[in-house]
Amino acid sequence: MTFPSCGNTPLGLYPLVDQSNKLETLYSLGVTTAQLRIKDLKEKQLENEIIQAIQISKKYNARLFINDYWELAIKHKAYGIHLGQEDLVQTDLVAIHSAGIRLGISTHTTKEIEMALEIEPSYLAIGPIFETTSKVVNYETVGIKELTKWSANVDYPIVAIGGINLNNIQEIINIPSVNGIAMISELLETNKISETKTKTILNLLL
């Protein structure tokens, strides 16, 4: 069961946002990949937000991954779905594959990477690379040395995530086997997308 490719263009700067209205700003600046990670909406509000995010992303021909809500992602024909380790056991992976939707999987250890590779996803996210405040995680930080080693041994696009900011992003950029760089809090200022930081990071990735 091989999931579809994300194409030949690197995933690049990969922002994670909690609201669809943040996507328009990111895409207009040149971001081509993003993830919608909603934690505080339910039922119709949640579905409407996912619909809006997918519509905005299609307008810009951007690659949007929906975090967790795989059934709604299938229903509204999302580009991709991202799942954490804890979500894999309760998700119908065959349904996602049958819908032709791309799949990204979070990994934190070599064992989790091996398990994810058996699913043959569209990409693997590895983290947390550095200490992070955006999400409570029960894993040790991976660090640059391990990220370099792990990603070099994986023949899939790798997304680095966790604690990445302007002060340490160059260390990630220097790793040839990293295909995308996920960022959350670093791109925000008072809960709005910082256009200045986003432009700076996009320029670094050129």
> Tens of pLDDT along 29-70?
999 999 999 989 999 999 999 999 999 999 999 999 999 999
Q: How far apart are CA 97 and CA 9, in angstroms?
A: 22
Residue 101 scores a pLDDT above 80:
yes
- Can you give the pLDDT at residue 138? 74
For 20-32, the pLDDT digits (tens) are 999 999 999 999 9
Please report whether residue 47 resides in a domain: yes
Percent residues over pLDDT 70 in the chain: 98
Please report whether residue 190 resides in a domain: yes
Domain hosting 158: range is 12-204
CATH of the domain at 176: 3.20.20.70
- Can you give the pLDDT at residue 189? 87
Q: Report the 10 Å Cβ neighbour count for 66.
A: 26
For 168-181, the pLDDT digits (tens) are 999 999 999 999 99
pTM here?
0.96
Tell me phi and psi for residue 87, to 5 degrees.
Answer: -90, -20
Please report whether residue 28 resides in a domain: yes
Average pLDDT value for residue range 79-94: 96
> Who wins on pLDDT, 1 or 118?
118
Please report whether residue 162 resides in a domain: yes
What's the total number of domains in the chain? 1
- Can you give the pLDDT at residue 134? 62
Please report whether residue 59 resides in a domain: yes
For 118-164, the pLDDT digits (tens) are 999 999 999 999 988 766 667 899 999 999 999 999 999 999 999 99
- Can you give the pLDDT at residue 12? 98
Please report whether residue 1 resides in a domain: no
Please report whether residue 4 resides in a domain: no
Please report whether residue 52 resides in a domain: yes
